[in-house]
Amino acid sequence: MNKNIKIFDSTLRDGAQGEGISFSVSDKLKIVKALDNLGVTYIEAGNPGSNIKDLEFFEKLKSIKLETSKIVAFGSTRRKNISTQEDTNITSLLEAETPTIAIFGKSWDFHVTDIIKTSLNENLKMINDTITFFKEKGKEVIFDAEHFFDGYKSNPDYALKALASAVDAGADAIVLCDTNGGVFPQEIYEITQKVCELFNVEVGIHCHNDCGMAVANSIMGVKAGAVHVQGTYIGFGERCGNANLSTIIPNLQLKMKLSCIPHKQVKNITSTARYISEISNLKLINGMPYVGNGAFAHKGGMHVDGVAKASHSFEHISPEIVGNKRRFLMSEVSGKSTVLPLIKKVDSTISKNSPETQSIIDKLKELEHMGYQYEGAEASFELVIRKLLNKYVSPFKIDSFKTIGEHSIIGGNFTASSIIKVIVDKKEEITAEQGNGPVNALNKSLKKALEVFYPELKEVHLTDYKVRVLDAENATSAKVRVLIESTDGKKTWTTIGVSTDIIEASLLALKDSIEYKLMM
């Protein structure tokens, strides 16, 4: 492994500036522990001068011992025309008692004159005074040069003076920020290289994703000599977000052979991303590089065939390296190689060239044409295979059902009821149930009837129910596709139903869900 790159995670500071993000103190503590476990160098925990929650969080952090990471408190240079001691934002940074302080300051002349409205000289003094203050208190100080690239392009002399002012005061690192996220990779490379030549201090890079370039820009910064990379772990942040560290870390560590986190932690890159997304209440983007659920999902039949023969034919790395998984998706663009593992689960004697394999593929394509989509509903597709191979007979029959929705005219709740008749081993069972809607009532009555024969169904409950209108141009006569996710507490499975009637589509998916559970 070549030189070390320091990873600076700002999920709790710049990430918290992202739309829809609101961490509780306990969420923040969990994220700190996850990042420390992963082994990033710095965790920027927030801005203690900003709000009571951050203050409380920094108080809690004082009693927490971390294994690898250093906690960073973030704040601005002192306000104009006052001393550092008089500035409450500066004193609150000190009271946070962190080993490291990140100070952001202006390096674009326009921001100095038109946003903070002070003189160019006073801004240089604000940077110098603030960093001197913290260095005298024995702190490690990182200087974030806000808008550095835009500033350099507009007035390079002044932008470099801002950096010099920080270095003269003893800054341990100067971080070049593409605050507006509008700079292109080649410019990042050239400007970072210039700064690395001019200053004998650690140079860092902090990129925003407004042009979709934040990861590429961070990599170009490193190629130009930066040894410290700032971002947020799964890329969220203000506007279009920050550089995504769950992409950058494996890019640096696996592709460029630069050490960022302890090598034994690389396999935890995916689980950390999923944990942080869950705490943040944000769904992880399916195709997020390295860590997304679909990052190693193969759908095209020829690709699945290639991966089955040699995984590197369509994978840039093995998913297990970063703790992710390979998935093969069933669909109308599948070939025999995709369905074969599922067929073999039912009958191991069937091969790729058996006639049964071709007839199953033909059936898959016919059903997908009718509106079924099996890539998320493998349980239903396994039942299709079993039925086609004559290896399955449903243990129950739904003889009839009726659902009634009731609306109270004078207000009150909408209720629905369902009556169902099932037959198991020639024995009939008729039940009725109420629900908060017809599908809910139907699900309850079906389960109640079948639980008489199969008590194990008591463990099963629905965890997700999705409806999609398939041919919207047909308005109310359109087909609908219902996907149901079920669990028994140990396993989770997904089933599908398609019909022009939403109740019937739901019943088909519910029936498959119960059949699959009884078959397990």
Ligand X SMILES: CC(=O)SCCNC(=O)CCNC(=O)[C@H](O)C(C)(C)COP(=O)(O)OP(=O)(O)OC[C@H]1O[C@@H](n2cnc3c(N)ncnc32)[C@H](O)[C@@H]1OP(=O)(O)O
H or E segment and range at residue 301: helix 301-309
Verify binding: residue 432, ligand X, rule CB under 6 A: no
Report residue 214 CA to chain centroid gap: 16
Residue 104 interacts with ligand X (CB under 6 A): yes or no: yes
Total residues binding ligand X (CB under 6 A)? 17
How long a stretch of residues is the chain? 520
Site string for ligand X, 145-184 (x = CB under 6 A): -x--------------------------------x-----
The 3-class SS string of 233-266 reads CCCCCCCCCECEHHHHHHHHHHHCCCECCCHHHH
Instruction: Report the nearest approach of ligand CC(=O)C(=O)O to the CB of residue 205 (Å).
Output: 11
Q: Which of 28, 106, 139, 206 binds ligand CC(=O)C(=O)O (CB under 6 A)?
A: 206
Calculate ∠ Cα 359-363-369, nearest 5°.
Answer: 145
246 binds ligand CC(=O)C(=O)O per the rule CB under 6 A: no
Choice between 105 and 231, CB closer to ligand X: 105
Q: Does 128 bind ligand X (CB under 6 A)?
A: no
Counting contacts by CB under 6 A, is residue 177 touching ligand CC(=O)C(=O)O? yes
Q: Does 50 bind ligand X (CB under 6 A)?
A: yes
Q: Which is nearer to ligand CC(=O)C(=O)O, 158 or 290 (CB)?
A: 158
| Cα end-to-end distance, the chain, whole Å | 47
Question: Phi, psi (5° rounding) for residue 460?
Answer: -85, 130
14 scored as a contact of ligand CC(=O)C(=O)O (CB under 6 A): yes
Instruction: State which amino acid sits at residue 91.
Output: T
Rounded to an integer, what distance in angstroms lies between the CA atom of residue 373 and that of residue 331? 7
**Residue type at 88?**
T
Please pick, from the candidates 27, 144, 375, 485, the single residue that binds ligand CC(=O)C(=O)O as defined by CB under 6 A: 144
One character per residue 283-302, x = contact with ligand X (rule: CB under 6 A): --------------------
What is the spatial distance between Cα 423 and Cα 417, in angstroms, rounded to a whole number?
Answer: 20
> How far from 123 is each of 175, 208, 242, CA to CA, in Å?
17, 24, 26
Q: Which residue is nearest to ligand CC(=O)C(=O)O (CB)?
A: 177
Site for ligand X contains 79 (CB under 6 A): yes
Min CB(152)–ligand X separation in Å:
16
10 Å Cβ neighbour count for 503? Answer: 21
> Cβ distance 315 to 307 under 8 Å?
yes
Cα-based angle 103, 142, 204 (whole degrees, multiple of 5): 120
Residue in 3, 2, 5, 1 with CA at minimum distance from that of residue 227: 5
Identify the residue among 11, 37, 47, 128 touching ligand X (CB under 6 A): 47
Site residues for ligand CC(=O)C(=O)O per CB under 6 A: 14, 104, 144, 146, 177, 179, 206, 208
Site residues for ligand X per CB under 6 A: 14, 17, 47, 49-51, 76-77, 79, 89, 104-106, 116, 126, 146, 179
